[in-house]
């Protein structure tokens, strides 16, 4: 909403206060002023001139040489390129030394002819092109003939104005009108307000004799008022009116349309003017549209209506989409002589849905949607008729054609001052409260210690006690609210076990060399299930903005791999990242997809890179496995976890493992398939996807310390030759089972394949540690259990001791 | 007397050998050669049997005296040589300490996590719990339970990704408030809700279709607007420095009444006006307000008995302000050259 201060000062005295101070006060008490526009900024030394002579430029077809009178002894020669320049016009001239927003004007030669300045269009004065009246959109602006030569165009055009741009929240629809803003400013400044007097002179002829009205949808249209004005002369509005409209962002059209727009801005009441003769029937019928019914709106677009859309008809066909936009056929034109003024109340929801259906928003619909003041419908119609009489020479027919079932009673709110103070944590006296409510022009009485308030109907947002709390506080000043902290019982803050484990995981992975990444939950349908640990029905947006962000992911890996490609293609020598985020699977009973957090990791490139000592090592399967193992150890899950070779789409079939939690698959990790790597331009890249929600749901024992061993342990190394296909994990299990409780640990310390070894064999070496917490083990005891281990190895995996 | 001379000669010889031994090994060789069981001094002692009985004690004492003297000199020499050996070894082992150390691979948290955790920890210290909720949410929790019935004009404030008529990607973390209140069935609440939210926006330098919010909610008896102000003041000082002042401006959210926006005095210019605060001296940080009675009522709380406050902020906005990040897209590109900058402590 734009507020012209010149216009505003018709209702409230704002003298003696700087615009920026006024803006600050308005902002601090509830409506944010987003900008202050000084309309004359950049304009200096302009002058009104009259064109006395015009001759064609000898060297240029499109240029004219004008002799312009400024009331000085001699005429000034000015070259002008505008197509609409003509002798006798009063025009805006920027003479040498003048300033325009585009720069300083100097005497110049145009194709050999001297030009003492420039004849200006409105755009050249800094007025937006879309606001310039269509007649002057492509040329210079022509001032009324009575404008005195030598005058300052800034004053003539009323550009000595300042405009505040208000950022309105949806509740403050009252401030979508100059009067609403005037009430607000009057309350803030504690000044009086002067309302416009709307009384139209009428002729004896009755409106009801020429127009009948029938409302068939009173729920959507509880009030409809129509006035008829005849013998209007459609033409340009006076400059003050055009300027007022342009200042608040409305393009002037003709006096009739301009008047309806002026009232819209002044009262916040959308009006529509029909050409009475174009209606053709002397009849207005408000009804719901027929499904598929057509209307061409003022913007010259044909629109197909739904059965829920409210329309104004002439009894036969729609002539306007109620509250949204008028129809082209009944538009006021230069030939219009009789006008029907519509001032009505259309239900907000109905307008909102219709406006959505048609994809058409207007100044009118924006106001109806949020709720207009039911008590301004009649005054607005009256005022429009009055202005049409004054500015268009119209004759106002007597009476208003009216349908009215609208409740116009103000909302009554009873609230105790104690409630207000308790809610604010303040001590404002009853008298101060009453004063503030009076400043806001709320009707207030006190009874039984309560404030009994009738909120004015222009303030549709004031309904409950809390609204009064806000009104009092914002005018009293939020700076006056003290700073306290909540009283009452002390509560223990903290993280849930899940949240604590997630932090632990993050810290562990970051300490292990991985960066935390953050990617989008939305992806393409194609990638939604790629590298998914499990898949289910996907969740897709109704109206995606792009296919890339259309579907919710079931794996974090595609985006994480994207980020890896991004970094690698920017010369990152290594990439190690993880992400913890939600995946979205299927549909639960409550109608929402199953949502759980996964952990994904990606690692590629150099893992050890110690240049001057010549140590370099690339990431491999076991680097990633080490990270995962240490994490699972940190999460106290080692006892529950096992690994088995696995095949996952998109991963290397010989270098992929499933992670099993108590035998159930909860994740996988491995190398990207070489084909994928090649396609993505990646070197060997290792990835993991783990169901983080599941692995962190395992209940953990309390941490109780185990006494530090008092007795030494004894180590035995063994080297075994086994079939290549036998996994180290299998051998480890055999050793652990045979070693019993004396076996403290088993560790692989060597793997050998190759020469000196048959092709189908490999050598694996283990260190076994034996330990007894009760005593020092004797050789005999160790030998006894170690023999058992060796026997088991021979028996189960056909191991040959080296 | 020949024996005495012999002894003196031997002594001179040994002392000279000791002096000329220039390392521990050479000196040990001297020890073995002269003082060992097969050495000349031992031989001399053995040869005493040939002496007359009355000369033997005198001679024995003399030999022992020489032996002790030689031994003493040798020990002293040994200490010197050992020290010398250590010095040599240290010199040999000296390294260039200016060469770089072995790099330790360390990653770090995403800057948004850093901000979110800082806020979480601040409020955990004040007795708040952390609550989370689903990203795909019901229209009911995202809007209706927050006093935004279908068709409410304020729904336009948040362009929404719908999944169906009744489900959507949450546009704010406020549904967690509604869910928590519903679950707590009338109990007092102090929570912080961080999480991802979504708006139907095209991604550019200042807009992202996905971003993070951090929301706070306190519900209980006698919760006042002054409590909100005091809490936000503590928050602002912790996050942006002790010198920060806050100011509240009236605003509008359908789920709070009264509603406010909170500004902090600019941390760059201190309030005198600069490009960060757009010359105003103030920076808008978050929205807040007293929980709307309709919201309390819908969640089963009696607005006559309890009241509450709520506040919500964008984690990206806080991070952009704190770290001077100019483009919101940096947070989702995961460029390591960006991420690795958030690896250090700050005061």
Report whether A425 contacts A484 (CB < 8 A): yes
A571 reaches B (C-beta below 8 A): no
Task: Tell me the longest C-alpha to C-alpha distance in chain B.
Answer: 135
The answer to whether A467 is a known ligand-binding residue is yes
Mean pLDDT of A758-778: 92
Rounded to whole angstroms, the Cα distance separating A461 from A458 reads: 9
Lowest mean pLDDT among A74-83, A685-694, B122-131: A74-83
Lowest mean pLDDT among A196-205, A522-531, A555-564, B324-333: A196-205
B134 reaches A (C-beta below 8 A): yes
Rounded to whole angstroms, the Cα distance separating A184 from A187 reads: 5
Mean pLDDT of B181-201: 94
Mean pLDDT of B81-93: 92
pLDDT (0 to 100) of residue B267? 86
Residue of B95, B103, B106, B107 to mutate, testing the A interface (most A Cβ within 10 Å of its Cβ): B107
Q: DSSP label at B305?
A: T
pLDDT (0 to 100) of residue B31? 87
Report whether B346 contacts B326 (CB < 8 A): no
B122 reaches A (C-beta below 8 A): no
Rounded to whole angstroms, the Cα distance separating A556 from A550 reads: 15
The answer to whether A562 is a known ligand-binding residue is no
Secondary-structure class of domain A413-456+463-480 per CATH = alpha beta
Q: A77 in helix, strand or coil? A: strand
pLDDT (0 to 100) of residue A288? 96
Q: Which of A370, A366, A373 is nearest to A344 (CA)?
A: A373
pLDDT (0 to 100) of residue B232? 96
Closest partner CB to A478 (pick from B128, B129, B260): B260
To the nearest whole angstrom, how far is the Cα of A1 from the nearest Cα of chain B?
16
- CATH fold label, A497-695: BirA Bifunctional Protein; domain 2 (3.30.930)
Going through A382-433 in order, the beta strands assigned E by DSSP cover: 395-398, 401-404, 411-415
What percent of chain A lies above the pLDDT cut of 90? 84
Q: pLDDT for B227-243, tens place per residue?
A: 999 999 999 999 999 99
Closest partner CB to B252 (pick from A169, A509, A595): A169
Rounded to whole angstroms, the Cα distance separating A112 from A108 reads: 9
pLDDT (0 to 100) of residue B151? 81
Rounded to whole angstroms, the Cα distance separating B334 from A518 reads: 7
Q: Do A592 and B162 touch (CB under 8 A)?
A: no
- Write the CB contacts of A519 (distance below 8 Å, at least 6 apart in sequence): A556, A559, A560, A562, A563, A579, A581, B332, B334
**CATH superfamily of the B111-342 domain:** Bira Bifunctional Protein; Domain 2 (3.30.930.10)
Q: Do B229 and A490 touch (CB under 8 A)?
A: no
Rounded to whole angstroms, the Cα distance separating A660 from A644 reads: 8
Cβ neighbours of A423 in B, within 8 Å = 224-225, 290, 307
Residue of B132, B156, B161 to mutate, testing the A interface (most A Cβ within 10 Å of its Cβ): B161
What pLDDT band is residue B341 in, cutting at 50, 70 and 90?
very high
Residue of A423, A493, A495, A556 to mutate, testing the B interface (most B Cβ within 10 Å of its Cβ): A493
Backbone φ, ψ for residue A37 (5° rounding): -115, 115
Mean pLDDT of A6-15: 95
Residue B205's alpha-carbon distances to A366, B208, B316, B321, in angstroms, are 29, 8, 12, 14
pLDDT (0 to 100) of residue B59? 81
What is the location of CATH 3.30.930.10 in chain A?
497-695
Report whether A434 contacts A446 (CB < 8 A): yes
Residue A260 pLDDT more than 90? Answer: yes
Q: pLDDT for A511-541, tens place per residue?
A: 999 999 999 999 999 999 999 999 999 999 9
Mean pLDDT of A174-182: 96
End-to-end CA distance of chain B: 89
Rounded to whole angstroms, the Cα distance separating A418 from B309 reads: 19
Lowest mean pLDDT among A6-10, A214-218, B43-47: B43-47
Rounded to whole angstroms, the Cα distance separating A255 from A237 reads: 4
Q: Within its chain, how far is the Cα of A57 from the centroid? A: 54
Closest partner CB to B107 (pick from A426, A479, A514): A514
Residues within 8 A of A (CB atoms), B 153-192 only: 153-154, 156-157, 161-164, 166-167, 169, 188, 190
pLDDT (0 to 100) of residue A112? 85
Backbone φ, ψ for residue A756 (5° rounding): 70, 5
- Domain A714-801 of CATH type 3.30.70.380: yes
CATH of domain A2-39+162-189: 3.30.56.10
B226 reaches A (C-beta below 8 A): yes
Residue B45 pLDDT more than 80? Answer: no
Rounded to whole angstroms, the Cα distance separating B105 from A514 reads: 8
Rounded to whole angstroms, the Cα distance separating B163 from A595 reads: 15
Size of interface A-B (CB pairs under 8 A): 252
Question: Within a 13 Å sphere around the CA of A780, how many CA atoms are in the beta-carbon half?
Answer: 0
Q: From B210, which residue of chain A is nearest by alpha-carbon distance?
A: A520
Q: pLDDT for A290-311, tens place per residue?
A: 999 999 999 999 999 999 999 9
Residue B153 pLDDT more than 80? Answer: no
pLDDT (0 to 100) of residue B1? 52
Rounded to whole angstroms, the Cα distance separating A5 from A161 reads: 7
Task: Tell me the longest C-alpha to C-alpha distance in chain A.
Answer: 132
Residue B219 pLDDT more than 80? Answer: yes
Q: pLDDT for A617-662, tens place per residue?
A: 999 999 999 999 999 999 999 999 999 999 999 999 999 999 999 9
Cβ neighbours of B251 in A, within 8 Å = 30, 32, 169
Which has more pLDDT, A599 or A110?
A: A599
Cβ neighbours of B113 in A, within 8 Å = 506, 516, 518
pLDDT (0 to 100) of residue A217? 96
Residue B318's H or E segment, with its range, is helix B315-323
Q: Do A423 and B188 touch (CB under 8 A)?
A: no
Considering chain B, what is the average pLDDT of its residues? 91
What pLDDT band is residue B9 in, cutting at 50, 70 and 90?
confident
The answer to whether A470 is a known ligand-binding residue is yes
Alpha helices in B102-252 (DSSP H): 111-124, 139-142, 174-184, 225-240
What percent of chain B lies above the pLDDT cut of 90? 67
pLDDT (0 to 100) of residue B273? 83
A28 reaches B (C-beta below 8 A): yes
Residue A643's H or E segment, with its range, is strand A641-645
- CATH fold label, A44-156: OB fold (Dihydrolipoamide Acetyltransferase, E2P) (2.40.50)
Q: From B165, which residue of chain A is nearest by alpha-carbon distance?
A: A542
Total count of residues recorded for chain B: 347
Rounded to whole angstroms, the Cα distance separating A777 from A260 reads: 104
Which has more pLDDT, A226 or A753?
A: A226
pLDDT (0 to 100) of residue A61? 84
Cβ neighbours of A469 in B, within 8 Å = 257-258, 290
- CB count within 10 Å of CB B155 equals 19
Residue of B195, B245, B256, B334 to mutate, testing the A interface (most A Cβ within 10 Å of its Cβ): B334
Rounded to whole angstroms, the Cα distance separating A357 from B205 reads: 31
What is the location of CATH 3.50.40.10 in chain A?
202-404
pLDDT (0 to 100) of residue A15? 93
The answer to whether A701 is a known ligand-binding residue is no
Q: pLDDT for B254-274, tens place per residue?
A: 999 999 999 999 888 888 888
Q: pLDDT for A85-138, tens place per residue?
A: 888 899 999 999 999 988 898 988 888 888 999 999 999 998 998 999 988 988
- CATH fold label, A202-404: Phenylalanyl-tRNA Synthetase; Chain B, domain 3 (3.50.40)
pLDDT (0 to 100) of residue A360? 92
What is the location of CATH 3.30.56.10 in chain A?
2-39+162-189, 413-456+463-480
C-alpha Rg value of chain A to the nearest Å: 41
Cβ neighbours of B290 in A, within 8 Å = 423, 466, 469
CB-based burial, A618-652: b 16+ in 10 Å, e otherwise? ebebebbbebbbebbebbebeebbebeebebebbb
**Helix B2-20 and helix B40-47, axial crossing angle in degrees, nearest 10:** 170
Residues within 8 A of A (CB atoms), B 38-97 only: none
pLDDT (0 to 100) of residue B333? 96
Q: Do B105 and A512 touch (CB under 8 A)?
A: yes
Cβ neighbours of A503 in B, within 8 Å = 117
Residue B181 pLDDT more than 60? Answer: yes
Closest partner CB to A493 (pick from B128, B153, B210): B128
Q: DSSP label at A765?
A: E
Q: Do A519 and B136 touch (CB under 8 A)?
A: no
């Amino acid at each position: 909403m734009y507020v012209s201060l010149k216009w505003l000062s018709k209702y409230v005295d704002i003298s003696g206060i700087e615009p920026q101070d006024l803006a600050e006060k308005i902002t601090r008490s509830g409506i944010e002023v987003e900008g202050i526009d000084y309309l004359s900024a950049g304009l200096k030394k302009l002058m009104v001139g009259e064109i006395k002579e015009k001759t064609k430029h000898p060297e240029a077809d499109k240029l004219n040489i004008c002799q312009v009178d400024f009331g000085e002894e001699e005429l000034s020669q000015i070259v002008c390129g505008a197509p609409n320049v003509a002798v006798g016009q009063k025009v805006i001239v920027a003479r040498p030394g003048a300033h325009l927003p585009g720069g300083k004007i100097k005497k110049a030669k145009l194709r050999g002819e001297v030009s003492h300045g420039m004849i200006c269009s409105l755009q050249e004065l800094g007025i937006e092109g879309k606001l310039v009246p269509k007649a002057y959109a492509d040329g210079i602006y022509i001032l009324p003939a009575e404008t005195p030569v030598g005058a300052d165009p800034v004053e003539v055009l009323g550009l000595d104005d300042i405009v505040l741009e208000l950022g309105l929240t949806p509740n403050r629809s009252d401030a979508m009108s100059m009067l609403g803003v005037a009430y607000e400013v009057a309350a803030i400044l504690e000044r009086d307000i002067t309302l416009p007097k709307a009384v139209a002179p009428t002729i004896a002829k009755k409106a009801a004799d020429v127009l009948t009205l029938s409302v068939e949808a009173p729920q959507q249209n509880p009030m409809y008022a129509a006035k008829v004005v005849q013998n209007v002369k459609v033409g340009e509005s006076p400059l003050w009116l055009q300027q007022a409209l342009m200042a608040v962002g409305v393009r002037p059209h003709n006096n009739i349309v301009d008047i309806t727009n002026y009232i819209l801005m002044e009262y916040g009441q959308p009006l529509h003017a029909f050409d009475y003769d174009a209606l053709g029937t002397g009849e207005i019928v408000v009804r719901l549209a027929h499904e598929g019914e057509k209307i061409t709106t003022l913007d010259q677009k044909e629109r197909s209506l739904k059965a829920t859309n409210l329309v104004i008809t002439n009894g036969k066909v729609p002539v306007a989409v109620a509250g949204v936009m008028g129809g082209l056929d009944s538009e006021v034109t230069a030939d219009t002589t009789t006008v029907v003024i519509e001032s009505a109340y259309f239900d907000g929801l109905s307008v909102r849905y219709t406006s959505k259906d048609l994809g058409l928003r207007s100044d009118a619909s924006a106001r109806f949607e949020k709720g207009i003041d039911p008590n301004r419908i009649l005054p607005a119609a009256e005022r429009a008729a009055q202005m049409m009489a004054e500015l268009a020479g119209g004759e106002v027919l007597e009476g208003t054609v009216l349908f009215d079932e609208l409740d116009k009673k103000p909302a009554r709110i009873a609230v105790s001052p104690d409630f207000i103070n308790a809610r604010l944590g303040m001590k404002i006296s009853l008298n101060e409260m009453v004063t503030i409510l009076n400043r806001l022009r709320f009707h207030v009485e006190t009874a039984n210690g309560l404030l009994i308030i009738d909120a004015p109907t222009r303030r549709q947002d004031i309904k409950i006690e809390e609204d009064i709390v806000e009104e009092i506080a914002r005018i009293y000043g939020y700076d006056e609210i003290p700073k306290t902290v909540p009283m009452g019982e002390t509560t223990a803050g903290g993280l849930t076990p899940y949240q604590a484990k997630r932090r632990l995981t993050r810290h562990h992975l970051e300490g292990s060399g991985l960066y935390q990444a953050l990617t989008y939950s939305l992806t393409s349908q194609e990638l939604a299930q790629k590298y998914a640990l499990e898949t289910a029905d996907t969740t897709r947006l109704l109206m995606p903005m792009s296919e890339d962000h259309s579907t919710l992911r079931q794996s974090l890996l595609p985006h994480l791999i994207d980020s890896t490609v991004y970094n690698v293609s920017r010369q990152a020598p290594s990439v190690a990242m993880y992400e913890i985020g939600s995946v979205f699977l299927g549909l639960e009973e409550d109608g929402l997809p199953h949502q759980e957090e996964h952990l994904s990791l990606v690692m590629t490139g150099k893992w050890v890179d110690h240049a001057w000592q010549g140590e370099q090592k690339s990431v491999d399967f076991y680097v990633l496995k080490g990270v995962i193992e240490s994490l699972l150890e940190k999460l106290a899950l080692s006892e529950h976890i096992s690994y088995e070779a696995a095949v996952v789409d998109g991963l290397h079939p010989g270098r992929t493992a499933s992670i099993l939690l108590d035998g159930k698959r909860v994740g996988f990790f491995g190398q990207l398939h070489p084909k994928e790597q090649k396609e993505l331009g990646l070197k060997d890249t290792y990835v993991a996807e783990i169901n983080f929600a599941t692995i962190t749901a395992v209940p953990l024992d309390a941490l109780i310390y185990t006494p530090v061993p008092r007795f030494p342990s004894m180590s035995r190394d063994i080297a075994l030759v086994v079939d290549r296909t036998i996994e180290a994990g299998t051998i480890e299990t055999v050793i652990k089972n045979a070693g019993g409780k004396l076996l403290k640990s088993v560790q692989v310390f060597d793997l050998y394949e190759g020469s000196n070894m048959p092709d189908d064999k490999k050598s694996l070496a283990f260190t076994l540690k034996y330990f007894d917490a009760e005593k020092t083990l004797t050789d005999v005891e160790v030998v006894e259990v170690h023999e058992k281990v060796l026997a088991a190895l021979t028996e189960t995996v056909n191991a040959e001791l080296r | 007397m020949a024996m005495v001379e012999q002894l003196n000669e031997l002594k001179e010889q040994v002392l000279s050998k000791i002096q000329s031994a220039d390392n521990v090994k050479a000196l040990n060789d001297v020890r073995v050669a002269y003082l060992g069981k097969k050495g000349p001094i031992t031989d001399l002692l053995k040869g005493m049997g040939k002496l007359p009985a009355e000369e033997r004690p005198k001679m024995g004492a003399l030999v022992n005296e020489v032996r002790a003297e030689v031994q003493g000199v040798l020990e002293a020499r040994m200490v010197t040589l050992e020290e010398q050996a250590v010095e040599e070894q240290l010199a040999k082992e000296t390294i260039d300490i200016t060469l770089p150390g072995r790099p330790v691979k360390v990653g770090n948290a995403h800057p948004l996590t850093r901000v979110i955790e800082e806020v979480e920890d601040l409020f955990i210290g004040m007795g708040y719990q952390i609550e989370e909720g689903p990203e795909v949410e019901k229209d009911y929790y995202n809007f209706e339970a927050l006093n935004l019935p279908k068709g409410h004009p304020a729904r336009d404030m948040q362009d929404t990704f719908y999944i169906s008529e009744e489900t959507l990607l949450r546009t704010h973390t406020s549904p967690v408030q509604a869910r928590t209140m519903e679950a707590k069935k009338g109990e007092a609440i102090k929570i912080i809700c961080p999480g991802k939210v979504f708006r139907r926006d095209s991604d550019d330098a200042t807009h992202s279709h996905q971003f993070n919010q951090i929301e706070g909610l306190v519900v209980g008896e006698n919760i006042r607007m002054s409590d909100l102000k005091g809490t936000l003041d503590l928050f602002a000082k912790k996050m942006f420095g002790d010198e920060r002042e806050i100011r509240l401006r009236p605003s509008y959210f359908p789920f709070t009444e009264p509603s406010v926006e909170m500004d902090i005095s600019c941390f760059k210019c201190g309030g005198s006006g600069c490009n960060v605060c757009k010359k105003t001296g103030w920076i808008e940080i978050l929205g807040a307000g007293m929980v709307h009675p309709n919201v309390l009522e819908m969640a089963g709380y009696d607005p006559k008995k309890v009241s509450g406050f709520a506040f919500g902020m964008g984690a990206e906005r806080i991070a952009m302000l704190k770290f001077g990040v100019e483009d919101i897209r940096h947070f989702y590109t995961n460029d390591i050259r960006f991420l690795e900058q958030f690896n250090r402590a700050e005061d």
